[in-house]
Amino acid sequence: MSNNPDPNPDPSQVPDDLLSSEEQQQRDGQIEETVDAAPASLGSPSRVLSIDTRVEQAWAHWKKLGRPKYIVAPMVDNSELPFRLLCQKYGAQAAYTPMLHSRIFSETEKYRNQEFTTCKEDRPLFVQFCANDPDTLLEAAKRVQNFCDYVDINLGCPQRIARRGNYGAFLMDNLPLVKALVEKLVQNLTTPVSCKIRIFPKLQDTLNYAKMLEDAGCSLLAVHGRTRDEKDGKKFRADWSAIKEVKNALRIPVLANGNVRCIEDVDDCIEATGVEGVLSAETLLENPAVFAGFRTAEWAKGSGEEEGYVDGGLDQGDLVVEYLKLCEEHPVPWRMIRSHVHKMLGDWFRIHPQVRERFNAQNILTFEFLYGLVDELKELGGRVPLYKKRKLDTLNVKEESPKRV
């Protein structure tokens, strides 16, 4: 199976409030043909398999993928193909697509062509959908199952668009519907089904919820350790203890999301919770090299061991250039590119606000303009490096240049 690109996609007619809070920019991009085969079938539908067999198959599939620990979380408009590939270059071992709206994906070819692109290097891959109708979700899932390793159901989005659309974390108020969504996919797809959730205020409610998903046939569960009302990640710490309880209660692989600012946080989270891997979202947007051990100045100098970090020989300007080259190779809508450039150059823009103002005023972006923007920042000076931990050997302390992945 392959996806046929629309060679001249027009701006999508999709209602903006269902897709993103970003202003809609000129849209570009195409669906990319992949040569990867579909994952091996998990056999008969879940309805005729015992729980023991389903658990065994869930682990077999996860192990076949290499048990990835460092994972790019799903982000609306921000975990698209070029960004996934950039994160992969710097240590990410698996990634989610942005959240895709199942109804619009099923109905609108232009939306499919613009919002979902992949390539043979883009694996392991979770394709995430929001949905509130099992049949519609299945129709969308069938279109992507040969191009990914999991079809994921978004049960964790806490934003107002999810409330208006009745999906994401707001389905926590209708657990029978959640169960129906999972069962519909499990019984009709050959690709495993995963889910991403938030926790309930009460631990037992969370455990009951997670167990219901496992019983329905979910093969992997990602748990964001915040409640639906705890939207601000800087204000509310994720509850790793709740994630640990979910991990202990389930038999399928479990992933954690929340409180990841650096690679050491990933290791600490795995040790504290026992999960298989950890998702990162906001931190990666500013620093896509997190999983390669790089830190921004904020997290290097605020770590309490500032002397232990050295200039890693890489900065966000370098990462922007690498990202733009990937975008030229794998086109995506300009609104996504604008968002990434803004986040990755945020520290530089604070030093040179006049450059930020010119960037914000540029209504129509071009690669020439964006490359020139990075060149201008470098010429103005005030380099903002990323930092790496100082390496120690048995004889002395020495600073090592980073190995480019």
Residues β-bridged to residue 392: 397
- Nearest-angstrom CA–CA distance, 275 and 287: 23
Collapsed DSSP state (helix, strand, coil) of residue 59:
helix
The residue among 206, 216, 211 whose CA lies nearest residue 182 is 216
Active-site residue flag, 157: yes
The residue among 84, 91, 38, 31 whose CA lies nearest residue 64 is 38
Q: Are 338 and 367 in contact (CB under 8 A)?
A: no
Residues β-bridged to residue 192: none
Collapsed DSSP state (helix, strand, coil) of residue 90:
coil
Q: Kindly tell me the burial class for residue 405, based on how many C-beta atoms sit within 10 Å of its own C-beta (0-12, 13-18, 19 or more).
A: exposed
The backbone region for 66, taken as left when phi is positive above 0, alpha when psi lies in -120 to 50, beta otherwise, is left
- Please enumerate in sequence order all residues whose Cβ is within 8 A of that of 74, keeping only pairs 6 or more positions apart, or say none: 96, 97, 98, 99, 126, 128, 152, 154, 196, 281
Collapsed DSSP state (helix, strand, coil) of residue 194:
strand
Q: Please, what's the b/e burial string for 56-85 (b: 16 or more CB within 10 A of its CB; e: otherwise)?
A: ebbbebbeebeebbbbbbbbbbbbbbbbbb
- Nearest-angstrom CA–CA distance, 61 and 178: 23
Question: Which of 157, 195, 218, 262 is flagged as catalytic?
Answer: 157
Radius of gyration of the chain (CA): 21
- What tokens does 206 get? 């969370």
The residue among 358, 402, 401 whose CA lies nearest residue 380 is 358
Identify the DSSP state of 77: T
Residue numbers annotated as active site: 157
